[in-house]
Structure formats: structure tokens, C-alpha cells
Structure 1
Amino acid sequence: MVDVFRTSVLFSRERLLLLILAMVQLTNVLDFVVMMPLGPQFMRYFSISPQAFGMMVSSYTFSAAIFGFLGAFFIDRFDRRVALLVLYAGFTLGTFCCALAPTYELLTLARSLAGAFGGIIGAVVMAIVGDAFPEARRGAATGVIMSSFSIASIAGVPFGLYLAHLLSWQAPFFMLAALSAVTWLGAFCLLPPLTRHLQCAVLASPIDEIRLVLSLPNTLRAFAFMSTLMLAGFSVIPFISPYMVGNVGLSESDLPYIYLFGGFATFFTSRYIGVLSDRYGKKLTFQVVAFCSVVPILLLTTLPRVPTFLALAVTTLFMVLISGRFVPAVALVTSSVVSRHRGSFMSLIASVQKLSSGLASFLAGLVIGKGHGQALTNYWVVGVFASLMTLLCIFLVEWIKPADAPASTDEPATPIPVTERV
């Protein structure tokens, strides 16, 4: 009876921790995805070109990549609770500065500030998931965290666009800053200290820490795997909206439905895929979902003019399988390093992801051309490239080994007790 009670309390604390982490990740994701639909307003308000808008979006990505790399030198030397609270406070400040920015240059600087903190937050969140949830439940926990993108797409983007049209482009950032501040207070009051990774001796220098992380057998394999996975996704994703309008025939007013239906579907499928990855294995689940994702990739990048409902069916299937393959992939990568080095490792992974996504968009931009009117050309070439990268990922995932199997002495198969301050 006592064991049953303790198990019930533990699961309740895990759910509370997961709720806080999901809210942190939701605001972090929403800050990034809300920028894309606001592009026309930014270009009109600041009188800037599409290239200048692209530079403003990229400022977040490159800042996140740079500071993600720098954060890897230090992140494992602090209580994960303290690290998350400090980084999230900086992210909230950066988002608030975006709302106050009066010029294009200051807004770009504010986006860089938000990216500097936001890029590391995701790594810390996943490190906490890896520390606090055992291997047997880590896939399901990762699925909940990954569903933050779905919620952002379902509610955040449409509501942000509504506020922007009703008031101004600043309104979504004021709303997001307020939501982030409330979430920060909740995290401050409810998050327990997370210091188990500090029980091991700290290395003499941050350089030694990174050198050790890079020397781990799984590190370079995980880098290659995640980099290839980002190339397979972000070569296609940035050009979906222009292709849907210029080639498929959707109107700009139809574009929010891509996020709405896709986000609604992935809200359920991401968590279900997380459960499947715990039940049948993360590698097998990833390989099946990734192989299936080749179908919507090729459909989407070759889609002719079709009725709106058919176009939305293809984009929804694309979002379900593209986001779905990330669930077992992230859970597997999180499990590939022991707790002591997980923060630094995930920060490096986040940096690799940002750089790879930027490279994917750049390479796709070199291939894609402009046809008659708003039509894009050679998008199918990008689809073939993304499909080949996906198939390569199915091969690369076999080389990633879990570091926290029950036989390991460095990472137990039981979760960290979440007992303090909860």
C-alpha cells in the first residue's frame, strides 16, 4: 500500500514537472513560429525587403546556434533549475524588447537577444527530461514536450495573427512576454532543485568538459544524425507557404489553416508516437515514421493545383510525420549520453540543429527559382534531396547507442526523485 502511494505521488510530481517544462517549451516555440506569418506586416511597417526580413528571422537562429555552443561549456556546472530560470528570464526580457523595438535594427537586435537565451532553453528542457524521467517513460515525456509545437500552431499562431491584425504587430510579443512571465513565476515556485548531475566531480576547465563530451562515442554519431535530420526537414519547411500560394493556388488567408489542422493533428499523434517509441523501441519507431514521411515530402514538393481540402490533407500528413519522427529521434539522442554531460551535450546538439536548419534553408534557396507570377521552380529537387536525407537518417540511427541502459553504472534506470519544492 505504501509503495502504491509513493508511486502515485511520484507520477503526480512527474506530471507537474512535465507541465512546467511543456509551458516553457511552448512559449519558446511560439516566439519563433509566430515570426513567419507576421512577415508581410514587418515588411510594410519597416519598409524592408524580403531579404531583410529573412535576415531578421535568421538573426534568431544564428544567435541561438552561437550561444548554444558557448552554453555547452558551462551548462552542466549549475543546478538545472537555476539554469532554466536564468535563461528563461533572459528569453522573457528579449521577447519584451521585441515588442518595444521601434526600428528594424533594434528589432533584429532584440530577436538576437531572444535567440541567445531561447536556443539554450530547449537544450536545458530536454536535459531535465533525460535526468528526471527513466528510459521506460522518456519517449512519452518527450512526446508531451514536442506537442508544444502543435499547441503553438493550433492556438498561438492564429491568435497571434488575430492580435496583430486587430492591434499591431507588437501585440503578439506583449502577449507572449506576459505569458512567459507567468510561466517563469510558476517554474520558480514549483520546480525542484535538479542537481543529480553535479554529484560527479566537475572537470577543471570548461574546455576539458567539451573535449570529454566530444570524445564520447555517441557524440559525433548524434551530431551527424541530427544534422541530417534537420537537412531533411528544413530544406522543405520554409518554402511551404510560398509554394502553396504560388503553385497550388491557396490564398494567403488559407495559410493559417495549414498550422491549425496540422497542429491539431500533431497534438495527438506526437504523444501517441512517444508512447509507441517506449513500447516498441525508439529506433524502430523512428525508422517506421521516417520511412513513411518520405511520401508526404514527395507529394508536397510536387503538388499541382488541387482543391484546398486536398492541399490541407497533404500538409497535415506532412506535419504529422515530420514532427512525429522528431519524437523518438530526440528521445534517443537524449538517452545517448549520461546525466553528468547531458546539459552540455544537448546544448551542442541544439547548436548543430540551428546551424543545420540554416544551412538547409540556404541550400534550398540556391536550388529553388521563380517561375511565372509567384510560382516556384525546382521545389521537387528539394523534395528528392529531403527524401534521400531521410533515408540516410534511417541508416544513421542504428549507430546511436543508449548510454543509460539498466546495466550502466553511471545512470540508473529509476527516475530522479522530484521531492523538493513540489
Structure 2
Amino acid sequence: MKKTPAPPFSGYQKTVVAMLAFLQFAVILDFMLMSPLGAVIMPDLHIGPAQFGLVVSAYAFSAGVSGLLTAGFADRYDRKKLLLFFYTGFILGTVWCGLATTFESLLAARVFTGLFGGVIGSIVLAISTDLFPPQMRGRVMGLIQTAFAASQVLGIPVGIYLSNQWNWHVPFLAMAVFGLIGGLLVAWKLQPVNAHLGLPQEHSPFMHLFHTVTEKRYLLAFCITALLTTGGFMLMPFSSAFIVNNMGIDLHHLPTVYLVTGLCTIFIGPLIGRAADAIGKFRVFLFGTALSIAMVLFYTHLGHTPLWMLVVINSVMFVGIFSRMIPFQAISSTVPAQSQRGSYNAISASIQQMAGGVASVAAGHIVSQGADGRLLHFDTVGYVVVATSLVATTLLWRLQRDLPAATPRPQAAA
């Protein structure tokens, strides 16, 4: 059956997508900056890898807790007001990170930032689902997810440069100022997002949360989210160390790797979104899964590698990752009822953060460091990532197969 061409974006819709992508950029960059700055933060605060790992995972775990606490009332407020509330807390937390001078203060700052920043992504997804019909969501998710690539192209190299020029505090303070501009733009330009408030709601936030976590298809989607997140979070914390110590790439060339990979994904992200809308989201997901599995197995077995080859391998691997991430988010956006989108996305974000924290800890127990600095057993991490990808693909096939049959009915007001 021939697919109906997706309608073009209106002027306001283009503005909304740009603003949501900017917020995603700020939140993702805040999280991603920690890993490349670790080489500077650890000696400055006199902490070891275990303590630094705790700082990184503290954000993920606090964000996970925040998502669960938010889920009960996420659908009871105008999504614009909810977004601005949590984004304000996120900016304050980022300032706190920039002012931290001890391990304890940085740890507390990361916990605080996670409590607010961890919910923003779920609100962004709820808003994009409310404002865009299903036939446009592949493109929307593709554009919003370019924030991840933009954080690599613009954020990480600039953050490393600022840290090298001054100190590691400056990137966080600069990001807070930059992020504040985006928050003011959202407050000015984004219209209220409150259509869901006219739908039936439970009087009890607890029952609203209960009905969300006990819906069968929601649980299936949550499992897929956890599995896909596990793969990324097992690789990411140790990638820079693997590149430097195992591949023999000079530390000063890391920004080049991030820059080229990010440029590639910025270009490919919107194309993946269009392909998902045009030829089918699950088909694109299958392509992305096959490509990412092949590249992860290749990447985790590399030894000394020329810089140009690493850039190509890393770029292709991220194309595979994005080719499954974007269509999955588009499929996931069709799962919840409108009156439960806020709670569904909040729980999904919570599971994503917690799964990421667990995955980082698990990878830390798998990987060890040899006397020469080389990482050992990184190939085992690759095998685990492949296994989670295969299970996630099977579950998503089952989920998307049942999607046209019925949509969950919103619970009647108690």
C-alpha cells in the first residue's frame, strides 16, 4: 500500500522543533561533558576512577528517581510550565557543577542536576508527540536527536578547549549561560501545551502512575528502552580510554574524532527520520541494528588504529546507533494514550537513566586495566551489547506488530 506523503512543517512547528532540539542539546551536553573532562577533574579533585565513576553515575541514578517521582503528576500540568520548571533547576545545577571545588560538592551538584535534567527529555518527547501527528514524528525525532550529534560537534570540542585554556569549571559555567538563553526563548515562543488537561484523569497521582506501569504494552516498551540504553552506556564511559590506550590515538586528537563523528550524525539524523516516515520505522530500525551490531563487534576488537580509520569506523557505528534510536522513539511515541504521555515518557526516561547507571557499573566490573594502561575485556562488553540488541529487536517486533490492534484507553476519572 502506498504511503501518504507526510505534510510539511508549519512555521511554528519548525520553531518548536528547533527549541526542543536546543534543550536536548543542553541536557545531553551536560551529561556527555563529564567523560572527556574526567582526565582533568580527577587530578584536580584528587580522586580516582572509582570516585569519578560515582560522580558520573550519580546523575543517572538521581535522574531515574526523579522520573519515577514525576510520573504521577506529569500529565496534570501544562507541559510548557513543567518544562520551564525543570529546566530552571537544571541550569542552577549546572552552575553548581561549575562552582564545585571538592569531590563531595561535585557529587551533590550532579545529583541535583540529575533530579531536574533527567526529566526534561521525557517532557520534550511528550510535547513533540502532542504537537505532531504520527506521520511526522520520524522527521521530528530525527531532528531532535541531532542534538546528540551537535553536542559532539560543538559542545565537547568547545568544552575541552575551554578547559584547556582555563580550567574544567569554565565549560559548565559557559553552558549554563548558553542554556539560559534557550530557556528564555522557550518561555517567549512556545505556546501552552495543555490539550491533555481536558481529558479524563485519575484524582490520585499514585493511581495514575500505577495504571501506567501496569499496562502490558507499556511494560514491553520500557524493557526495550532499558535494553537499548544498556548497550550505549556500557560502551560510552570507556570509549575515550579505549581509543587512547588500546588504539594508540593521541589524547589531543579526541576532539577530531568527536567532531567528524558528530558532523556525520548531524547530516544523517534527519535523513533517517525521513526514511522512517517513508519506508517504515521498524525496517529502518532493523537496518540500524544490523549495522550497529557489526560495527560494535569490529570496534571492540580493534588494536592500534590510524586516526582516519578510527574516524570512519566510529562514524559508521554511530550511523547504526542513530538508525535504531530514531525509529524506536517514533514507534514508542505511538504507544501511550494522550492522557498518559507525560507519565509514560517520565517512566521511560527514568528507566533509561537507571539502566544507564547499572550498565556503567556493570561495564566497570567487566573491564579492567593492564599494567601498560590498556583496557582488558572490552570485547566482552561488545558481546553483551550485541546480545541486548538482539533481544530488544525481538521485543520491538512484537510491540510494533500489536500497535495497530488497539491503543490503551485512558483511565476514567476516579
TM-score by length of 2: 0.93
Tell me, in whole angstroms, the C-alpha distance in 2 between the residues paired with 1:227 and 1:328. Answer: 16
Match of 1:329 in 2: 328
User: Which aligned pairs between 1:131-170 and structure 2 lie closer than 5 A?
Assistant: 131-170=130-169
Tell me, in whole angstroms, the C-alpha distance in 2 between the residues paired with 1:388 and 1:172. Answer: 37
Please tell me the residue identity of whatever aligns with 1:20: M
User: Aligned pair in 2 of structure 1 residues 10, 268: CA closer, same or farther (>3 Å)?
Assistant: closer
Conserved? CA contact 1:291–1:390, under 8 Å: no
Task: Tell me the CA shift for residue 405 of structure 1.
Answer: 6.1
Match of 2:314 in 1: 315
Task: Tell me the CA shift for residue 324 of structure 1.
Answer: 2.7
Task: Tell me the CA shift for residue 167 of structure 1.
Answer: 1.6
Match of 2:240 in 1: 241
Please tell me the residue identity of whatever aligns with 1:356: A
Task: Tell me the CA shift for residue 274 of structure 1.
Answer: 0.9
User: Which aligned pairs between 1:371-410 and structure 2 lie closer than 5 A?
Assistant: 371-401=370-400
Match of 1:200 in 2: 199
After superposition, the C-alpha distances for 1:227-280 in whole angstroms (9 at most, x for unaligned) are 111122222222211111121111111222221111111101111111111111
Conserved? CA contact 2:287–2:320, under 8 Å: no
Tell me, in whole angstroms, the C-alpha distance in 2 between the residues paired with 1:102 and 1:239. Answer: 25
Match of 2:358 in 1: 359
Tell me, in whole angstroms, the C-alpha distance in 1 between the residues paired with 2:328 and 2:15. Answer: 24
Task: Tell me the CA shift for residue 180 of structure 1.
Answer: 1.3
Match of 2:61 in 1: 62
Please tell me the residue identity of whatever aligns with 2:66: F
User: Aligned pair in 2 of structure 1 residues 189, 79: CA closer, same or farther (>3 Å)?
Assistant: same
Task: Tell me the CA shift for residue 284 of structure 1.
Answer: 1.5
SS in 2 for 1:235: helix
Conserved? CA contact 1:135–1:404, under 8 Å: no
Let me know the Cα RMSD of the aligned residues. 2.0
SS in 1 for 2:51: helix
User: Which aligned pairs between 1:266-277 and structure 2 lie closer than 5 A?
Assistant: 266-277=265-276
Conserved? CA contact 1:243–1:376, under 8 Å: yes
Match of 2:44 in 1: 45
User: Which aligned pairs between 1:206-285 and structure 2 lie closer than 5 A?
Assistant: 206-285=205-284
Task: Tell me the CA shift for residue 402 of structure 1.
Answer: 8.8
Which residues of structure 2 form unaligned runs of 5+? 1-5
Tell me, in whole angstroms, the C-alpha distance in 2 between the residues paired with 1:211 and 1:348. Answer: 11
Tell me, in whole angstroms, the C-alpha distance in 1 between the residues paired with 2:359 and 2:142. Answer: 25
SS in 1 for 2:35: coil
SS in 2 for 1:231: helix
Task: Tell me the CA shift for residue 372 of structure 1.
Answer: 3.9
Question: Which is worse superposed, 174-183 or 237-246?
Answer: 237-246
Task: Tell me the CA shift for residue 370 of structure 1.
Answer: 2.2
User: Aligned pair in 2 of structure 1 residues 267, 9: CA closer, same or farther (>3 Å)?
Assistant: closer
Tell me, in whole angstroms, the C-alpha distance in 1 between the residues paired with 2:94 and 2:368. Answer: 34
Conserved? CA contact 1:158–1:260, under 8 Å: yes
Tell me, in whole angstroms, the C-alpha distance in 1 between the residues paired with 2:240 and 2:322. Answer: 17
Conserved? CA contact 1:143–1:273, under 8 Å: yes
User: Aligned pair in 2 of structure 1 residues 191, 291: CA closer, same or farther (>3 Å)?
Assistant: same
User: Aligned pair in 2 of structure 1 residues 370, 9: CA closer, same or farther (>3 Å)?
Assistant: closer
Conserved? CA contact 2:201–2:339, under 8 Å: no
Tell me, in whole angstroms, the C-alpha distance in 1 between the residues paired with 2:330 and 2:45. Answer: 41
Tell me, in whole angstroms, the C-alpha distance in 1 between the residues paired with 2:64 and 2:406. Answer: 34
SS in 1 for 2:304: coil
SS in 2 for 1:109: helix
Match of 2:103 in 1: 104
Which residues of structure 1 form unaligned runs of 5+? 1-6, 412-422
Task: Tell me the CA shift for residue 404 of structure 1.
Answer: 8.5
Tell me, in whole angstroms, the C-alpha distance in 2 between the residues paired with 1:383 and 1:359. Answer: 16
Match of 2:31 in 1: 32
Please tell me the residue identity of whatever aligns with 1:255: L
Task: Indicate the percent of aligned positions where both proteins have the same amino acid.
Answer: 32
Conserved? CA contact 2:284–2:323, under 8 Å: no
Match of 1:15 in 2: 14
User: Aligned pair in 2 of structure 1 residues 294, 407: CA closer, same or farther (>3 Å)?
Assistant: closer
User: Aligned pair in 2 of structure 1 residues 222, 9: CA closer, same or farther (>3 Å)?
Assistant: closer
Tell me, in whole angstroms, the C-alpha distance in 2 between the residues paired with 1:406 and 1:131. Answer: 21
Conserved? CA contact 2:139–2:277, under 8 Å: yes
Tell me, in whole angstroms, the C-alpha distance in 2 between the residues paired with 1:279 and 1:410. Answer: 28
After superposition, the C-alpha distances for 1:392-420 in whole angstroms (9 at most, x for unaligned) are 22211112249986986979xxxxxxxxx
Conserved? CA contact 1:84–1:124, under 8 Å: yes
Tell me, in whole angstroms, the C-alpha distance in 2 between the residues paired with 1:409 and 1:45. Answer: 52
Match of 2:189 in 1: 190
Task: Tell me the CA shift for residue 22 of structure 1.
Answer: 0.9
After superposition, the C-alpha distances for 1:202-228 in whole angstroms (9 at most, x for unaligned) are 202111101111232311100111111
Tell me, in whole angstroms, the C-alpha distance in 2 between the residues paired with 1:316 and 1:8. Answer: 31
SS in 2 for 1:248: coil
